[in-house]
Structure 1
Amino acid sequence: MTHRRATRRKDCPLTGPVPVPTPATTPYWEGAQREELTIQQCQSCTQHYFYPRPFCPYCNSDDVVWTPVSGRGRLLSYVINYRPTPPFDAETPIVVALVELEEGPHLMSNVIGVDPTPENLPLDLQLEVTFVERGDLKLPMFTPLQESAR
């Protein structure tokens, strides 16, 4: 018995649920609407960090601000999901990735714009953020940098 893999065109718009911004995440989503990746930075120790919280995880200072970052990073780890559950089942395969930003923090996101095969997703692949409209939000996702695209 053979199984046919469901596939999605690389340029196909994404569907499915959208995150619900909270008071803690609103600045992140407002930045995404401007197509700007923003994360928090501590004014006391200068460290960038993600996920959003009201204090610095490095020095416990509450003197933190939202700041735009480069949007560039590298692929640390990933999984190619061929069997997502509804409502994501129309989007197969999905590359769920752990991306290390140039500024240091790690983000879970998706890699899009490349055939989802291990050959096209070497670890340390250089990535850049792109924004994909879904509902009323723009979601930050990552694509290979042009010079490192395969």
Structure 2
Amino acid sequence: MQTAIAKPRPKIDNVNRGFWDNARAQKFSVQKCAACADVHFPGSPVCPRCLSENQSWVEISGRGTLLSWARFHRAYWVSFRADLPYLVCLVGLEEGPLLVSNLVGVESEDIIIGADVDAVFEKVDDELTLPKFRISG
């Protein structure tokens, strides 16, 4: 019997912990600067617009637009082999930031660039929940 190989996990630190805590609660969030109101993702220790350290994680809609996608047929990590083929997408969130994630619940022949998408959450274990996207419908 073959032992399952663990998939790579995000490194959760003080900068991105708010995002992952919110995802575990099935809330989609981005970082917002209290000084200039810039909304950005991924999180950073200082605002990319004004360099303020006064930032927080705020819940957003989780809605966006599908800007691009790719269907992966090759497992670059052995642990993803059982998932092949899988869809990776670039989403423009309603609130502005771009995000790369997985597109789920759709066949590739039904995907249309510009489609509306919604965040969904996949619980990996008690510590990690991954945000993914599904075509709105």
What's the TM-score once normalised by structure 2's chain length?
0.88
SS in 1 for 2:23: helix
Find the partner of 2:99 among 97, 107, 124.
Answer: 107
Q: How many corresponding residue pairs?
A: 130
Structure 2 residue 83 is matched with structure 1 residue 91 = yes
Structure 2 residue 30 is matched with structure 1 residue 21 = no
Q: Which runs of 5+ in 2 are unaligned?
A: 1-5
Work out the CA distance in 2 between the residues paired with 1:82 and 1:125.
23
- The code of the aligned residue for 1:56 comes to C
Structure 2 residue 23 is matched with structure 1 residue 69 = no
Aligned position for 1:54: 45
- The code of the aligned residue for 2:112 comes to P
Q: Give 1:81 shift.
A: 0.5
Aligned position for 2:3: none
Query: What do you get for the CA RMSD once the two structures are aligned?
Result: 1.4
Q: Give 1:65 shift.
A: 1.2
Find the partner of 1:132 among 119, 122, 132.
Answer: 122
What's the TM-score once normalised by structure 1's chain length?
0.81
Deviates more, 1:52-61 or 1:17-26: 17-26
Work out the CA distance in 1 between the residues paired with 2:44 and 2:19.
11
Identical residues among aligned pairs (%): 34
Structure 2 residue 135 is matched with structure 1 residue 144 = yes
Deviations 1:30-49 (A, max 9, x none): 00111001110111221210
Q: Give 1:20 shift.
A: 3.2
